Structure 1
Amino acid sequence: MRIVLVNVPHPSIGSRIPDDHLPPLGLLSIGGPLIDDGHEVSLVDGEFGPAPIPDLVAEIVGRAPDVVMFGHSGSTSGHPVIAEVARLVSETMRGVRIVYGGVFPTYHWREVLAEEPWVAAIVRGEGEETVRRLVAAFEAGGALDHVAGVAFRGADGPRATAAAPVIRDLDAYRIGWELIDHARYSYWGGLRAVVVQFSRGCPHLCTYCGQRGFWTRWRHRDPVLFAKELARLHRERGVRVINFADENPTVSKKAWRAFLEALIAEKVDLILVGSTRADDIVRDADTLHLYKQAGWQRFLLGLENTDEATLELIRKGGRPDVDREAIRLMRRHGILSMATWVIGFEEETDRDLWNGMRKLLSYDPDQIQLLYVTPHRWTPYYRLAAERRVIQTDRRRWDYKHQVLATRHMPPWRTLLWFKLTEAVLQGRPKALRRTYLHPDKGLRHAMRWYAQMGRRVWPYEILNFFFRDRLDASGPTVRAFWGEPQDAEEQSMSADRPERSVARPAA
């Protein structure tokens, strides 16, 4: 069959501001198995430009596909764009099969199928094996009832089949790297780059995050085979930067050390960036020199907050002393630390945010990334936020970089003020400026200058958008009324072999 994979232009600030673009790993991951099954597969990436919707639709239609598959890493905020493009493609090409996968449709499959008649099937959870069986069912002209891991429109309305088995061997399906022109994708200031996954899932219990539930369990690739693949990407495709999509690749110290040693043995000049937990960094204090030898230049640490009561509320499981020690150890080994900090919890006051900023300064991270509280139905945190007031009803803005919820003690403009003030103080303090422009390590100096340059563009962009483009609704609906009932009972999206988490209801 002729299959077109579509990466729609995403409205988020992170996609619009940088001059760099990263390849859509999720689509490439299903592309490889489909190519190996003998299908004619191509990718249309609307992020470049970004492509105007009519042009994107014309390019998809021009390839005369039998099946069009949509997915996006910015799943919730990307959904309205995917819905629009899919509708236009369907109206132009009668009979084309539209398939939709990703986190948002995995959980919102009932609503998508009920409201979007052009969607033929939804791939729920991991897609590599499911899309192969789905396309085979399309070719045979049979029903989809026996294709595990999909949802479709039956005679009595939307229905979902049994969960697809969790993929235990992540090396059994190859990534379709041949679907992209590597020269078009870059990161870290114009360096050729790709996105990869060493592992899937996360074993930790943070209530706001969907990684644990979507991927069901934490698994990792073969450390040596993975290192060889990265080395091939460098030697054959000229890739310099490897951006890890893993939430927590360092869970297994044994497997992670095996990967680092295998990559060091390949003797390739790579820059590695990604995310992990502070407690894993502290745990690996004796092997951080291997991180550096392998090419690690920056880790994003999800600190989320500096208030212990808030950390307990979201079950982060972190400790301020561990966070500080992780940042200190990384600096000692020449690895940059980027700390994430979340604003917008319901009971926050000016005093809370002032004290939080002071504590964050004491952590002394190299870089800071601020985010807004953004609940999703499939996470346990959603139940705690279900009665909060929604002030942003444009679902394209639910990307962690826009205020979407009202807070009890502050108007939105003051929350924005604290958000931007914290960024300015952390990134503009003398110590940070000295590292950015005078760091003795040329590579780290380049990385920090690139991030600072991007920040200088994002900072005023967000302020101008807030006051002149974003439309906030002071009398908006509750979160529950806006999105629907909590889905934390379905958090384990594709598995019934582990009990669901129970989440305490907030007191009246």
Structure 2
Amino acid sequence: MNVLLINPPVRSENIYGRLAIFSHKLPPLGLCYLASYLIGYGHKVEILDLYVSNHINLIDFINAYQPDIIGVTSTTVSFPSAKKTLKIIKSYYPEVITVMGGAHISAVPVETMNECADIAIGVIGEGEITFKELIDIIGQNQDLSGCRGIIYRKNNSIVKTQPRPLIENLDMLPFPARNLLKEFDRYYHHFLRGYGRTASIISSRGCPYGCAFCTQAVFGTRVRGYSAHYICDEIKQVMRDFSANFFSFEDDIFNYDRQRLKELCENILREGLKIRWCCSIRIDSITEEDIGLMAKAGCKKIYIGIETFSNRLQKLIGKHIEREFLIDKIRLIKSYNMEVNASFMLGLPTETKEEILETINNANNLPLDGAVFFLYTPYPGTQLRRLAEESGIISNKWDDYSSHLSTHAFYPRSIKVKDLDRLIFYAYRRFYLSPKFIKRNYRNTNIFRQLFKYLFKRVKSLF
């Protein structure tokens, strides 16, 4: 069958608002994994990433390709755009089979089907095996009830099949088909997570920690990793085919398994891969031995999620890290010539202005190289959403769910939204323009050099 996979168009300004100049555009690796898996079974697949290639006419592309099935991926914030894209497709091609996958429909499948009548079938969770079986069943004109992990329409009702088990052996999946991305050079990383020509890579799926603000609707809470040999072979392919010189591991938690971390770093060294890379870690479970080996294998940037310094809110979100412990670990990591960047979350349910200022003040006292301040967003399917409903007003517009200063998905009663906006801008100004930050970084101007290069690239891309 001919399959077309679409990433819907979303303007950076709609997600990042006034901070859009610092946004990134990452390749849709989920679609690339799905495409390569389907190609392995003889199907013809094209990827149309309208987030990057928004100048391509959707209908002209479909006319030229003539797909049998069109799949659209969607996060929560991109769902309105995905819905509009499907409506356009169905208005021109009412008989084409339309499938939606991704984080949003995986989190709230029934609600999503009810909201968008143009979705014929939804894929819940990991999509590779499910989508392949779905195509087989459609091709053989069999009943869809035999396909696990989907939701579909039948006789004016919505039917949800049994869940699809997670893929145990990720090495069974072929490398993601990055070659199907039409304009690879138009993807770029945030300057805090990349150097030079940066490529995204995924070495594991899932997260075991269950933070109350986060959802694992697609990959689950049980972590599964690709083997060290698989990852190193993929790195070599991306270096060869795309001239990448820096890799950003997009795993939720890179150091979930110390033995696997050791095997991967040792394999990078054994194969002589001269690469630089970054990753996200749980700082409370990293050891000096791990840090030293990561540095030796080329790790240059570490990203950590701190979220809040309020003891009360730490218990609420299920994430507790002592300030002095953080300072010691950050200094230890930096002693191995690695940058440390952190994220913080402001506007949590019941959070007060005093607690927000406590987080901002403590963030400025950490020896960090960079910081990002997110707005709390009550994503569907998360534990904290119920408390948000009780302690404020939740937006029913999915394009409000960006986590950045473009819109608000949550209006807390504990603080005015206009005050929250001011505090986020204050947090950025105080961090990046503080004498401590400038003094700490003035000898190594890398952070400023990256910032100016990044700004130049972003401005240049507008013309």
TM-score, scaled to structure 1: 0.82
Q: Do residues 306 (structure 1) and 309 (structure 2) align?
A: yes
CA displacement at 1:166 relative to structure 2: 1.3
Residue 268 (structure 1) aligns with: 273
Paired with 2:92 and 2:201, the residues of 1 have a C-alpha distance of: 35
Contact 2:255 2:261 in 1 (8 A): yes
- Matched residue type, 1:253: R
User: Relative to structure 2, which stretch is displaced further, 189-198 or 19-28?
Assistant: 189-198
Paired with 1:7 and 1:226, the residues of 2 have a C-alpha distance of: 25
Label 1:109 to 1:416 Cα distance change in 2 as closer, same or farther (>3 A).
same
- Matched residue type, 1:367: G
- Matched residue type, 1:177: R
Contact 1:149 1:164 in 2 (8 A): yes
Q: Secondary structure at the match of 1:88?
A: helix
Paired with 1:128 and 1:315, the residues of 2 have a C-alpha distance of: 32
What are the residue-to-residue correspondences of 1:397-412 with 2, within 5 Å?
397-402=400-405, 403-412=408-417
- Matched residue type, 1:265: R
Contact 2:388 2:394 in 1 (8 A): no
Gaps of 5+ in 2: none
Deviations 1:416-444 (A, max 9, x none): 1111101111111123234555307x6x6
Label 1:241 to 1:369 Cα distance change in 2 as closer, same or farther (>3 A).
same
Contact 1:346 1:406 in 2 (8 A): no
CA displacement at 1:347 relative to structure 2: 3.1
Residue 330 (structure 1) aligns with: 333
Gaps of 5+ in 1: 458-508
Give the share of equivalent positions with the same residue, in percent.
Answer: 23
What are the residue-to-residue correspondences of 1:6-17 with 2, within 5 Å?
6-10=6-10, 11-13=14-16, 17=21
- Matched residue type, 2:178: W
Paired with 2:373 and 2:393, the residues of 1 have a C-alpha distance of: 20
Contact 2:378 2:394 in 1 (8 A): no
Residue 382 (structure 2) aligns with: 379
Label 1:19 to 1:102 Cα distance change in 2 as closer, same or farther (>3 A).
closer
What are the residue-to-residue correspondences of 1:113-132 with 2, within 5 Å?
113-132=113-132
Residue 486 (structure 1) aligns with: none
Paired with 2:105 and 2:456, the residues of 1 have a C-alpha distance of: 31
1:425 to 427, 430, 443: 430
Residue 65 (structure 1) aligns with: 67
Residue 214 (structure 2) aligns with: 209
CA displacement at 1:350 relative to structure 2: 3.1
Label 1:95 to 1:156 Cα distance change in 2 as closer, same or farther (>3 A).
closer
1:48 to 49, 52, 64: 52
Paired with 1:214 and 1:255, the residues of 2 have a C-alpha distance of: 19
Paired with 2:432 and 2:216, the residues of 1 have a C-alpha distance of: 29
Contact 2:345 2:376 in 1 (8 A): yes
Deviations 1:210-242 (A, max 9, x none): 138842411111112212221221133312222
CA displacement at 1:446 relative to structure 2: 4.3
Q: Secondary structure at the match of 1:204?
A: coil
Deviations 1:96-135 (A, max 9, x none): 1111101110122212222322212111001111111011
Q: Do residues 159 (structure 1) and 173 (structure 2) align?
A: no
What are the residue-to-residue correspondences of 1:311-390 with 2, within 5 Å?
311-390=314-393
User: Relative to structure 2, which stretch is displaced further, 405-414 or 189-198?
Assistant: 189-198
Query: How much is the aligned-residue C-alpha RMSD, in angstroms?
Result: 2.6
2:225 to 200, 220, 233: 220
Paired with 2:452 and 2:272, the residues of 1 have a C-alpha distance of: 27
Contact 1:223 1:258 in 2 (8 A): yes
Contact 1:211 1:247 in 2 (8 A): no
Paired with 2:130 and 2:430, the residues of 1 have a C-alpha distance of: 48
Paired with 2:180 and 2:67, the residues of 1 have a C-alpha distance of: 16
Residue 26 (structure 1) aligns with: 30
- Matched residue type, 2:119: V
Contact 1:3 1:39 in 2 (8 A): yes
CA displacement at 1:293 relative to structure 2: 2.5
Paired with 1:231 and 1:185, the residues of 2 have a C-alpha distance of: 19
Q: Between Structure 1 and Structure 2, how many residues are aligned? A: 448
Paired with 2:219 and 2:230, the residues of 1 have a C-alpha distance of: 25
CA displacement at 1:243 relative to structure 2: 1.9
Contact 1:77 1:395 in 2 (8 A): yes
Paired with 2:441 and 2:246, the residues of 1 have a C-alpha distance of: 20
Q: Secondary structure at the match of 1:292?
A: helix
Q: Secondary structure at the match of 2:372?
A: strand
Contact 2:86 2:118 in 1 (8 A): yes
- Matched residue type, 1:94: P
Paired with 2:25 and 2:365, the residues of 1 have a C-alpha distance of: 33
Q: Secondary structure at the match of 1:406?
A: strand
Paired with 1:92 and 1:212, the residues of 2 have a C-alpha distance of: 32
CA displacement at 1:392 relative to structure 2: 4.8
Contact 1:24 1:195 in 2 (8 A): no
Residue 185 (structure 1) aligns with: 187
CA displacement at 1:339 relative to structure 2: 1.2
Paired with 1:456 and 1:21, the residues of 2 have a C-alpha distance of: 11
CA displacement at 1:12 relative to structure 2: 1.6
Q: Secondary structure at the match of 2:106?
A: helix
Paired with 1:408 and 1:456, the residues of 2 have a C-alpha distance of: 37
Residue 41 (structure 2) aligns with: 37
Label 1:271 to 1:146 Cα distance change in 2 as closer, same or farther (>3 A).
same
Paired with 2:247 and 2:317, the residues of 1 have a C-alpha distance of: 30
Label 1:19 to 1:354 Cα distance change in 2 as closer, same or farther (>3 A).
closer
Contact 1:17 1:454 in 2 (8 A): no
Residue 491 (structure 1) aligns with: none
Contact 1:196 1:243 in 2 (8 A): yes
CA displacement at 1:323 relative to structure 2: 2.2
CA displacement at 1:448 relative to structure 2: 5.5
Q: Secondary structure at the match of 1:191?
A: coil
- Matched residue type, 2:402: D
Paired with 2:458 and 2:46, the residues of 1 have a C-alpha distance of: 36
Deviations 1:309-334 (A, max 9, x none): 11011111433233222211221111
- Matched residue type, 1:158: I
1:288 to 270, 287, 291: 291
Residue 173 (structure 2) aligns with: 173
Q: Do residues 255 (structure 1) and 263 (structure 2) align?
A: no
Paired with 2:131 and 2:105, the residues of 1 have a C-alpha distance of: 15
Q: Secondary structure at the match of 2:340?
A: strand
Contact 1:3 1:42 in 2 (8 A): yes
Residue 251 (structure 2) aligns with: 246
Paired with 1:142 and 1:7, the residues of 2 have a C-alpha distance of: 28
